[in-house]
């Protein structure tokens, strides 16, 4: 069951979604593997600070945040990775690193990598390292109303 705040929101809005339990995993790529879902559907939430304000960057599992590109696109002075101590208290019902990409539920801005707009469905942590939520990207975009920005690049392995 996803974190209560998310579950209640999805049920209230009547948006279809499914949940899937899996063995514990701590990276988005690992979660895709253990949950047996296509890696291109798995997204990760990266907590960032934009000019000192907490926000969420949401991007495909195999991508990385290009902080200088994001800063330029937002016209910000600084964009940096947020430290765990800066956001963990905001998400008391979530395991650290498993926050769902619904910053709107916590009063923060959400920036979605342009690369995700090609995805029909997305999957993401539902607040724990043992359960994910899967839904259409169109529904996610309708609910969260994120800012779509080009700020990520695929990792080269």
The half-sphere exposure of 113 on its side-chain side, counting CA atoms within 13 A, is: 26
Q: Is 144 helix (H, G, I), strand (E, B) or coil?
A: helix
Q: How far apart are the C-alpha atoms of 107 and 5, rounded to whole Å?
A: 13
User: What is 4-149's CATH number?
Assistant: 3.90.960.10
**What is the per-residue pLDDT across 123-149, written as a single tens digit (0 to 9) for each?**
999 999 999 999 999 999 999 999 999
70 is written with which tokens?
Answer: 């994001």
Torsion of CA 100, 74, 138, 96, to 10 degrees: -10
SS3 call for 75: coil
Question: What predicted TM-score, i.e. pTM, was given to this entire model?
Answer: 0.93
Q: What is the mean pLDDT of the chain?
A: 93
């Amino acid at each position: 069951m996803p974190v209560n705040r998310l579950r209640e929101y999805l049920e209230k809005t009547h948006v279809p979604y499914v949940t899937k339990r899996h063995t514990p995993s701590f990276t988005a790529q690992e979660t895709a593997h253990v949950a047996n879902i296509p890696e291109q559907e798995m997204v990760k939430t990266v907590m960032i600070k934009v000019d000192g304000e907490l926000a969420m960057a949401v991007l495909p599992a195999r991508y990385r945040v290009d902080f200088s590109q994001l800063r330029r696109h937002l016209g910000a002075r600084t964009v940096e990775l947020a430290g765990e101590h800066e956001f963990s208290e905001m998400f008391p019902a979530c395991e650290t690193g498993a926050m769902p990409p619904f910053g709107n539920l916590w009063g923060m801005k959400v920036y979605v990598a342009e690369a995700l707009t090609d995805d029909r469905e997305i999957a993401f942590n539902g607040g724990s390292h043992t359960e994910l939520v899967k839904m259409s990207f169109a529904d996610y975009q309708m609910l969260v109303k994120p800012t779509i920005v080009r700020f990520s690049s695929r990792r080269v392995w």
